[in-house]
A and B are shown apart, each in its own frame.
Chain A
Amino acid sequence: MTVQQLQDPVRERRLVRSRLVVAALAVLAAVGVLAGRMWWLQVAGYQHYATLSQENRVRVVGVPPTRGLIYDRNGVLLAENVPTYRLVVTPEQVSNMDNLLTRIRKVVSLRPTDLERFHELRRQRPGFQEIPLKFDLTEKEVARLAVNRHRFPGVEVKAQLTRNYPLGSTAVHAVGYVGRINQQELSGLSAAEYSATSHIGKTGIERYYEKRLHGHVGVKRVETNAMGRTLRVLDRDPPVPGEDLQLSLDVRLQKVAEGALGEESGAIVAIDPQTGELLAMASTPTFDPNLFVNGISLEDYRSLQQGKDKPLFNRVLRGQYPPGSTIKPFMGLAGLETGTTTPEETVYDPGYYSIPGVDHRWRCWKRGGHGTVNMHDAIEESCDTYFYDLAYKMGINAMHDFLLPFGIGRSTGVDLSGELSGLMPSKEWKRRVKGKPWYHGETIIAGIGQGYMLATPLQLAYATATMANRGKRLRPHLLRSATGPDGKAVPVPDPHQRPPIQLDKPQRWETIIDAMHDVVQGPRGTARRVGRDAPYQFAGKTGTAQVFGIAKGEEYDAEELAKRLRDHALFISFAPLKDPKIAVAVVVENGGGGSSTAAPMARTVMDAWLLRLRQTAQGYGDE
């Protein structure tokens, strides 16, 4: 101790004590600041932080709704949900993964791709999340796993509902299929509604009525920790299943139609003219939609996509063909209605047609010609020269204006997506699209449904139904009724009526229909062999579309053109003549002649419907 300190201990102590007091006050102030901070966070900010804490811990998890079922008109199941089993492994519960995988392979067969995917997912996901090892376990594998369960801790068999199409390829182009939601689709969907859904309708009814079929997502509020592991379910709001849809298709008739087409590539559409309901819509070749549900393999997809007959291609909606001679009844009606000709007026057919000042001769399909024909004869015998002449006199724009209401060149508005509109050319169209003037020659071949004119099988069926209805137009459709999850019917919008086509003289319908009747049941009709023995009266028209006349750039035919130069065979018909109950359009690609190939198919379909099936079909049986 120094001298000074000894001299002045009192002063020293006083100084230290004053400093201690200062320090104590500072401590008090600082603790006050801390208390103030705590008050700010816990009392003033309580609501804010309580909310954040709640958001932290509670996660809302979607529960997928059960997809609605699809039936045909008689209640035959077309699309259902079946339980399938997948094998999942929770890595954190497995002590030795390699060992487990080796042992489990003795019970379940695993492909190298299964293992690859498993290891890939294992890298990406936290250890407590289950990782699928194999999808679509067989019943046998499920049973074997159940027996050996105790040997595989961390391994589970999980059931889920998978879309299944019990009839396989039947009506695949109408029903469509579901597949995993892809990135592109995801951006257009309501994130909340689809938060738990893995599949979405890709084509057909599955796609068009996706909203009805899907239902509404359910919600489960779960408590999770910081790593996202679910600890418990707090509460749930169950999902609302999708609506069950009943289609107008009759699977029996559908099978008849598909059977009639056989190995050919083509399409058959059958419509009930009185309601607009599609009774059958076949597009061949077909494919198995079940391949697509859980991801189709690349090879399978390639063979479907690039195979020469293009099974995925929906010919009913998207196959655009020159209507050929099937346009003639409509042309005839146009001639009468525009005053260009009369039923009695005749044309001499020497086997070709020519116009003054032009060297070119447009040939009739019959060498030597039909001689002198009136409209009835021209339709019955399908005289080209008559219609060359009629078209030339009428002009393309008058044809365009008259044929458009029949649906040629305009989508029918069927309840399926992806429908193409065909093409009904006009002068204005050519100028706009091709940038070229219209030529007379193009008018002339348009008279027999060649040149630019294109129609889908569905459009031909719609036009035929309109003809059968004498102008009454009904939108073709597939949906008959929908049933909600409570078992009650859900209203289906019914905008099927369209303004009818009204002729100045309704008698003109009969003139044309009479001629169409003679096509199949007259003495000289082009398809008289098909209609001769029919126990009912019907009307029809054959058509043969020249393949090489197809406009270039049509993806569908371009590459097959060189290989397959045979004409497309077409046929339209309806029956009976009065009070028609079915209208059919048939297109057989490279089928040759309409009367020999397409017409018998239409007859088969009409026979099946009128003579057998209609009596027992729902909606008709009690008539």
Chain B
Amino acid sequence: MNDDVVGPARDRSFVQRYLHLDMPLLVLLALVAAGGLVVLYSAFNGDFEAWERQCWRLGVAFFVMLVLAQVPPSLLRRWTPLLYLAGVASLLAVMLFGTSAGGARRWIDLGVMMVQPSEFMKLALPMMVAWVLAREDVPPRVPVILVVVAVIGVPVGLIAVQPDLGTALLVAAAGVFALFLGGLSWRYIAGGAVLAGAAAPLLWFFGMRDYQRQRVLTFLDPERDPLGAGYHIIQSKIAIGSGGVYGKGWMAGTQSHLEFLPERHTDFIFAVLSEEFGFFGVCVLLVLYMAVVGRGLWIAGHAQDRYSRLLAGSISLTFFVYFFTNIGMVSGLLPVVGLPLPLVSFGGTSMVTLMAGFGILMSIQTHRRLWSS
């Protein structure tokens, strides 16, 4: 109790002590989720039933967060290798027995429910990388780096061949962030960047499916196919741009309500927000997102052990990649990658994973004192 290495541990409130919830993070997430529901209501154009379903999903996701927040990091750490191996095994199972949907094989049908192992890997992978790095020297030496690269590469490869480029990207990012925070020397980082640059053409010619290449080409020049693949981007940019500074008003977005905007309640919901709430609304969302990432990084910086630090940092930065990629894609900065806008887009699975990650963050923040001194 008297150890003050961890800072403001003294003024813990009730929720922090007994529910293991981090108030600042909880408030931020609730704000984003509430705002998201407002935008989603408009995107559904009054389809109350679907909107209500999303409310329930959010409830479930927050509940999962609450559960995860109760699990002490030490326990999580102990189970990490097992969780990771289970994840890799289930990815292999997907490859062998998975259920196809829309040209991709991503699901396992367990009879009672469908599970998506790649989602699970979004958390299991950074945990595993943190687990490996926490056992080794700082900064990590080459053999350790190679082990980590393998730990990242195997599941990412398995996800990429499903194919699910968006998730593969997020999972890889989660692992790489953990490695980066773990102290990977700048020399290796530079080397890795060069290697990635060299691999890009190889990826283009051998690693990518045709539709993925199309996406990249369309990203480079949406007008190439204005009614086909480029249509999404063009309409999305029109929606965003026509929002102006203050937007057209809630429920008054013509692009979305007149159905010019595709995927408006899922991947392209950011365009609905931009159209109806303008630059102002966009800035509010960006500030909230930044605050979430900031709080996550703060938690990482104040975590009590290396495993927690790396895991918390990785989860926070992955969240950043999430919204950055989505907004970048919707606004035409990045190619179209099927990623939802976190906490706003309609959809359940990825939200649950996301909130589970925040649950771990809260656990790291709220369990500090109990096992530090």
Contacts and interface: CB of A to CB of B under 8 A. Distances in A.
A50 interface: yes
Given A38-B274, A42-B241, A27 B331 contact: no
B306 A5 contact: yes
A20 B238 CA distance: 37
A42 B238 contact: no
Interface in A380-424: none
B183 A31 contact: no
B327 A23 contact: no
Contacts of B293: 24, 27
A433 interface: no
Nearest to A52: B238
Contacts of B259: 225-227
Given A42-B279, A225-B259, A1 B135 contact: yes
Given A16-B306, A16-B309, A16-B313, A31 B289 contact: yes
Interface string B273-302: 010001100110010011001100100110
B138 A46 contact: no
Interface in A1-45: 1-2, 4-5, 8, 11-13, 15-17, 19-20, 23-24, 27-28, 30-31, 33-35, 37-39, 41-43, 45
Contacts of B279: 38-39, 42-43
Decide if the interface of chain A is mainly helix, strand, loop or mixed. Answer: helix
A28 B255 CA distance: 30
B177 interface: yes
Nearest to A225: B258
A1 B138 CA distance: 12
B313 A23 contact: yes
Contacts of A45: 241
Nearest to A227: B259
Nearest to B324: A30
B351 interface: no
Q: Report the interface size class on chain A.
A: 35 or more
A56 interface: yes
Contact of B274 (A27, A42, A50, A56): A42
A508 interface: no
A38 B237 contact: no
A229 to B, nearest CB: 9
Given A5-B137, A56-B258, A20 B241 contact: no
A2 B258 contact: no
A20 B297 contact: yes
B70 interface: no
Interface in B129-148: 134-139
B333 A30 contact: no
A50 B324 contact: no
Nearest to B319: A27
B237 to A, nearest CB: 6
B290 A28 contact: yes
B331 A50 contact: no
A49 interface: yes
B250 interface: no
A223 B258 contact: yes
A406 to B, nearest CB: 64
A43 B245 contact: yes
Contacts of B272: none
Contact of A31 (B138, B260, B286): B286
B245 A46 contact: yes
B326 to A, nearest CB: 10
Given A34-B331, A56-B238, A56-B260, A23 B180 contact: yes
Given A2-B137, A27-B290, A53 B244 contact: no
Contacts of B242: 46, 49-50, 52-54
A19 to B, nearest CB: 5
A338 interface: no
Contact of A34 (B237, B278, B286): B286
A1 B304 CA distance: 13
A10 to B, nearest CB: 10
B254 interface: yes
16 contacts: A15-B139, A16-B301, A24-B294, A27-B290, A27-B317, A35-B286, A38-B240, A38-B274, A38-B282, A38-B331, A41-B240, A41-B331, A46-B241, A52-B241, A57-B255, A225-B260
Q: Which 4 A-B residue pairings sit nearest by Cβ, starting from the closest?
A: A49-B241, A53-B242, A225-B258, A42-B279
Interface of A: 1-2, 4-5, 8, 11-13, 15-17, 19-20, 23-24, 27-28, 30-31, 33-35, 37-39, 41-43, 45-46, 48-50, 52-54, 56-57, 223-227, 231
Interface of B: 134-139, 177, 180-183, 235, 237-245, 254-255, 258-260, 274, 278-279, 282-283, 286, 289-290, 293-294, 297, 300-301, 306, 309-310, 313, 317, 320, 324, 327-328, 331-333
